[in-house]
Amino acid sequence: MGQLYDRAQLLAEVWTEPLTVVARRYGLSDVGLAKLCTRLNIPRPAQGYWAKRAAGKSVPVAPVLPAYTGAPSTLRRPTRPATIDSPTPVDPRLAAVIEFEAREENRICVVMPVQAWHPVVVAAQASLQRPRIDARGLPQTTAGTLDISVSPALLSRTLSVANALLQAVEMRGYSLTPGRQRMEVKVLGVALTVRFYEPTHRLDYVPTATELAEAAAGEAGYWPKWQFQPTGKLQVIVSDGFGGKVSDSSARSVEDQLNHLIVLMVTRAVEILQREERYAIEAAEREAVRQSLVQRQQAQALERERLAQLEDQALRWQRAVRLREYLAALEEHQGQDINPEQRSLLNWARGMADWLDPLTPSGASILDEDSALPS
């Protein structure tokens, strides 16, 4: 029968990571994965979900897996025939980074206490003295600094992780530059964002004793529908999740995955570069086709011009032949009675016939002159 799609697993994946990330595991494009979810009756996050989530705004939770009512054959995963072809080679720019980050001597270590703070981390720490409060009630750094949104209990550790990561980034030749909203990391010339984020549990709002007393006294105000409980777990997200992320888990902490995070950042940068390079090649191919068509059109125009000249010469030759035939008939009609004036007219007319005839050399004529009046 073959392997079947695990609908519950796919539901969890598409609500945990963007389609572009999940699609690679299934060997599909993001559009192909979206169509697969539709066929398998798996709901997906609405448009703008990941941007709102990255901004710390309230987003819907993953729904319950609905029952499947489609054809059983749709659940079957396609089996790819075995091939002897070698796997797609890894881009050399990425392969070098993977090899570098795998070496034990290049392992990024988070040292506590921190001996020297990176200026960008210092600026982020200063902005958290008067933070912006996000939709979950957690403090968040202000615009222009490093993107950090964690609870006060997780802040010290987050700053230490950020400090070790930024120092490692610069040691590898990448740079930190101010972006439109946040500090960005330029990897291979591509600007990426890095966000330090603490997930939360969304719970029903529980009013305080004061709020309950005010409600009993008829002075109740507005209560939010939800309250958010920090998980105490850290995530570092690359480019709003489009470049992947590393998260605390029971097996590994974020501190143990910083080298992998560097690989994720370079992977995202190489993907963007490859796309731009592919677009440049396609644009060059389109331009080559356009230039070929332009040259073809120019050749056609030249052919039309040559044909028009040829037709004009043939017409002039026909006019000259007709004129000579008329002059011969006229001279024969006059016979011996041609006077000097008529002889002069015949000579002039034969000269004009020669001027018309492209096959007969002739002298210049007044008709060759351009005598148009000036405007």
pLDDT in tens, 176-190: 999 888 899 999 999
The single-letter DSSP state of residue 293 is H
- Residue 84's pLDDT band (boundaries 50, 70, 90)? very low
Lowest mean pLDDT among 234-238, 359-363, 366-370: 366-370
Cα three-residue angle 329-332-335, rounded to 5 degrees: 150
User: Which of 221-225, 344-348, 366-370 is predicted most confidently?
Assistant: 344-348
The SS3 of residue 169 is helix
Is 301 domain-assigned?
yes
Is 229 domain-assigned?
yes
Average pLDDT over residues 285-307: 94
Task: Check whether 157 has a pLDDT greater than 50.
Answer: yes
Query: What does the alpha-carbon distance between residue 70 and residue 351 come to, in Å, rounded to a whole number?
Result: 93
Is 246 domain-assigned?
yes
- Residue 80's pLDDT band (boundaries 50, 70, 90)? low
Average pLDDT over residues 236-259: 92
The single-letter DSSP state of residue 91 is P
Task: Check whether 372 has a pLDDT greater than 80.
Answer: no
- Residue 87's pLDDT band (boundaries 50, 70, 90)? low
Is 189 domain-assigned?
yes
Is 110 domain-assigned?
yes
Which burial class, exposed, middle or buried, applies to 277 when counting CB atoms under 10 A from its CB (0-12, 13-18, 19+)? exposed
The SS3 of residue 144 is coil
Give the pTM.
Answer: 0.62
pLDDT > 90 fraction of the chain, expressed in percent and rounded: 54
Lowest mean pLDDT among 65-79, 144-158, 320-334: 65-79
Would you give the distance in Å from CA 87 to the centre of its chain? 25
pLDDT, tens digit, 9 for 90 and up, residues 309-328: 999 999 999 999 999 999 99
Is 176 domain-assigned?
yes
Is 196 domain-assigned?
yes
Give the side-chain half-sphere CA count within 13 A for 30: 9
Sign of the CA dihedral 281, 286, 287, 293?
positive
Domain containing 301 equals 90-205+224-308
Omega of the bond leading into 199 within 30 degrees of 0 (cis): no
Task: Check whether 61 has a pLDDT greater than 60.
Answer: yes
Residue-level pLDDT at 75 = 86
- Residue 256's pLDDT band (boundaries 50, 70, 90)? very high
Residue-level pLDDT at 82 = 45
Is 324 domain-assigned?
no
Domain count, the chain: 1
- Residue 171's pLDDT band (boundaries 50, 70, 90)? very high
Using CA atoms, how far residue 370 sits from 240, 373, 375, in Å, is: 73, 9, 14
